[in-house]
Structure 1
Amino acid sequence: MTTPPMLTTALTRLTGVDHPVVQTGMGWVAGARLVSATAEAGGLGILASATMGTDELERQIIEVQERTERPFGVNLRADAGDAEQRVDILIRHRVKVASFALAPRRELIEKLKEHGVVVIPSIGAVRHAEKVAAWGADAVMVQGGEGGGHTGAVPTSILVPSVVAAVDIPVVAAGGFHDGRGLAAALAYGAAGVGMGTRFLLTRDSAVPDAIKQRYLGFGLDGTVVTTKADGMPHRLLRTEYIEGLERRAGIRQLLPTLRRSLAFKRMSGMSWRGLATDAASMKKATGRSWAQMTLAANTPMLLKAGLVDGDTRAGMLAAGQVVGMIDDLPSCEELVDRVVRDAVEQLQVAASCLID
């Protein structure tokens, strides 16, 4: 495969990657294999740590570094009770980028920047972008409502340009991107690159079982739904029978299986009861969820793991962006990034040819 043309942006200069394409930090999906493959392809791979204990996070970082010498990042939960410890792990292993779900504390941003780590929080509103920019964040990733997993209501096409106009740091556009046309559009909006989750999940380098990938490929543009019944926050998931049933089910009927899965996650992660309680309290404070909603949130990791890791084709909770309905193949990360960049350059050249002297 020949080297794709270069698209140098504020994001590539900031992070040292070749192409302004980010593989987002998807829980259970973005492990060492996918992250290193993305990095080798010239994009920015983000390791998802929310479903890992600290020992596993350290092992995964070391594995990525054994697979590639190129820059990569780690996604952290800003509201995690052990966020400081995780930041120390990134610093110790000289990870290039720290991305965050929710806005991190000012102190965490300052500590990371003191040690040369690039800080890129994920945000869903202009005011959040303004806040983290004022605290020293190097860039922001902005996910519009089309995105998978936890998401907001404002479409990418409106949210991205509004954030670009509000802050003076690079903006990475996410939510609804899967090809070169999307990257070209994001650059036209003023973004410095795109973040893609579902598109990278559906690659050959993704460790998601093949049967689950085929299940994703079977959904159309109407194949996702946003529900708060999964964990109390708007969550875009594949429109499975389980999710449609969840929308109708009374909360009390979910309690027992929820507690069982919470116990399973505790055993798997190696976290203590105190650690789980601290995490839950931090998350509750950061998100404003009720304790009933927090109980549902404890259920989510194991429901996602059933399909994304265990390959259970009956699993009903599978996060996906609306863009799933546009995807019909499983390229390697190298093939994907190459195609996205080449097509974006072509689209930009066509747009430039329309200019009138």
Structure 2
Amino acid sequence: MKSVLCEMLGIEYPIIQGAMAWVADADLASAVSNAGGLGMIGTGHDPVEIVNEKIADMKTKTDKPFGVNIMLLNSHVEEVVKAVCASGVKVVTTGAGSPGKYMDQFKAAGISVIPVVASVALARRMEKDGADAVIIEGMESGGHIGKSTTITLLPQVVDAVDVPVIAAGGIGDGRGMAAAFMLGAAGVQVGTRFVVARESNAHQNFKDAILKAKDIDTVVTGLITGHPVRVLRNRLTREYLKAEKEETSKEKPDFDRLEKIGTGALRKAVVEGDKNYGSMMAGQIAGMITKEETCKEIIEDYMTTSKKMILAQAKLWTE
């Protein structure tokens, strides 16, 4: 199964691994790239020295295409962009803003730029700014989310832009992948399922929480702040939501109080394995994930199942 995305990125399968903070390191990303997908290194708020180390580590683990995610709110973003452009990396995804001001640098370095968007308007803007493709992320995703679902946002963005569109959010297996293709996607981005990959260095407590999750075990926090985040329920979310409700009732909400509650919580989940006060970012498909697999097994399952679904539907409609 080939797509324009595979040709653009030089990959075998149209599957991109989400650049999850504290999770998307060289071990995970290289395993995805070696299995035929596009592994992504997450950089978050990293200073340029750390970004260079991550890229160098990645190059020792794979000779396949891989990408780097740049968080545009990073205080070191100027230096990070320069370093990535000089590194030989050929794919960049971006979040938390527009990469427009850096587009000339990226293009001069031969980098394909793929911003993450949560609306039609933003997708159009990114295309105008020179994006090579866009990732639409529905509210089913883990971590920071928008307001639209994947199944409603995807076809609207496909109709609005001429660049390839990648679907993210709620793509838990090959059935979701096939559905994304039917709605016009050129590929999919997968996050939560790769968290529990055998090559993932996420703490086992975090993995186990995803493996044990049911369909209703995620909750959205931070709505009052304008930056909602989907996570698994625990003591942290109960305390946060209680505080959020209290602040909502005030004329001037104390956003610093809410920020203090969440500061450092993602690291607690991914690195320390704190099941109670760690921010265990996971998508709504967590309830579908029941076992740890290698990245190769995960990608093969997506591809095999999606092909079966597409062929079965084609046969159904021709009979």
Picking from 191, 195, 206, the partner of 1:197 is 191
**1:315 counterpart = 2:277:** yes
Contact kept, 8 Å, 1:141 with 1:173, in 2: the verdict is yes
Contact kept, 8 Å, 1:229 with 1:247, in 2: the verdict is no
Contact kept, 8 Å, 1:230 with 1:297, in 2: the verdict is no
Contact kept, 8 Å, 1:243 with 1:316, in 2: the verdict is no
- Determine the C-alpha separation between the residues in 2 that align with 1:106 and 1:71: 24
What's the counterpart of residue 48 of structure 1? 42
Q: How much has 1:250 moved relative to structure 2?
A: 6.7
Residue-pair matches, total: 315
Picking from 199, 206, 212, the partner of 2:206 is 212
| Paired letter, 2:279 | M
**1:156 counterpart = 2:133:** no
- Determine the C-alpha separation between the residues in 2 that align with 1:142 and 1:203: 23
Picking from 80, 90, 93, the partner of 2:87 is 93
What's the counterpart of residue 113 of structure 2? 119
- Determine the C-alpha separation between the residues in 2 that align with 1:314 and 1:175: 25
- Determine the C-alpha separation between the residues in 2 that align with 1:46 and 1:29: 10
Q: Which moved more, 1:72-81 or 1:130-139?
A: 72-81
| Paired letter, 2:202 | V
Q: How much has 1:199 moved relative to structure 2?
A: 0.7
Q: How much has 1:216 moved relative to structure 2?
A: 1.8
In structure 2, the CA distance between the partners of 1:171 and 1:41, relative to structure 1 (3 Å rule), is same
Q: Which moved more, 1:312-321 or 1:222-231?
A: 222-231
| Paired letter, 1:112 | F
Q: How much has 1:91 moved relative to structure 2?
A: 1.4
Q: Which moved more, 1:241-250 or 1:45-54?
A: 241-250
Contact kept, 8 Å, 1:102 with 1:121, in 2: the verdict is no
Contact kept, 8 Å, 1:144 with 1:159, in 2: the verdict is yes
**1:244 counterpart = 2:206:** no
What's the counterpart of residue 235 of structure 1? 229
What's the counterpart of residue 305 of structure 1? 267
| Paired letter, 1:36 | S
Task: Provide, for residues 79-104 of structure 1, a one-character-per-residue CA deviation record: whole Å limited to 9, x for no partner.
Answer: 33322211111111111111001342
Q: How much has 1:23 moved relative to structure 2?
A: 0.5
What's the counterpart of residue 62 of structure 2? 68
What's the counterpart of residue 336 of structure 1? 298
- Determine the C-alpha separation between the residues in 1 that align with 2:103 and 2:178: 30
SS at match of 1:347: helix
Structure 1's unaligned 5+ residue stretches are 1-6, 254-289
Query: Percent identity of the aligned residues?
Result: 33
- Determine the C-alpha separation between the residues in 2 that align with 1:113 and 1:37: 27
Higher relative contact order (CA 8 A, sep 6+): 1
SS at match of 1:172: strand
SS at match of 1:355: helix
| Paired letter, 2:125 | K
SS at match of 2:201: coil
In structure 2, the CA distance between the partners of 1:241 and 1:153, relative to structure 1 (3 Å rule), is same
What's the counterpart of residue 270 of structure 1? none
| Paired letter, 1:317 | S
**1:144 counterpart = 2:138:** yes
| Paired letter, 2:50 | E
What's the counterpart of residue 269 of structure 1? none
Contact kept, 8 Å, 1:133 with 1:167, in 2: the verdict is yes
Contact kept, 8 Å, 1:139 with 1:169, in 2: the verdict is yes
| Paired letter, 1:328 | T
In structure 2, the CA distance between the partners of 1:182 and 1:251, relative to structure 1 (3 Å rule), is closer
Structure 2's unaligned 5+ residue stretches are none
TM-score (norm 2): 0.93
In structure 2, the CA distance between the partners of 1:292 and 1:36, relative to structure 1 (3 Å rule), is farther
SS at match of 2:277: coil
What's the counterpart of residue 2 of structure 2? 8
Q: How much has 1:194 moved relative to structure 2?
A: 0.7
What's the counterpart of residue 169 of structure 2? 175
What's the counterpart of residue 354 of structure 1? 316
| Paired letter, 2:283 | G
Contact kept, 8 Å, 2:231 with 2:279, in 1: the verdict is yes
Contact kept, 8 Å, 1:183 with 1:340, in 2: the verdict is yes
Residues 247-286 of structure 1: matches in 2 within 5 Å? 247-249=241-243
In structure 2, the CA distance between the partners of 1:323 and 1:292, relative to structure 1 (3 Å rule), is same
| Paired letter, 1:58 | N
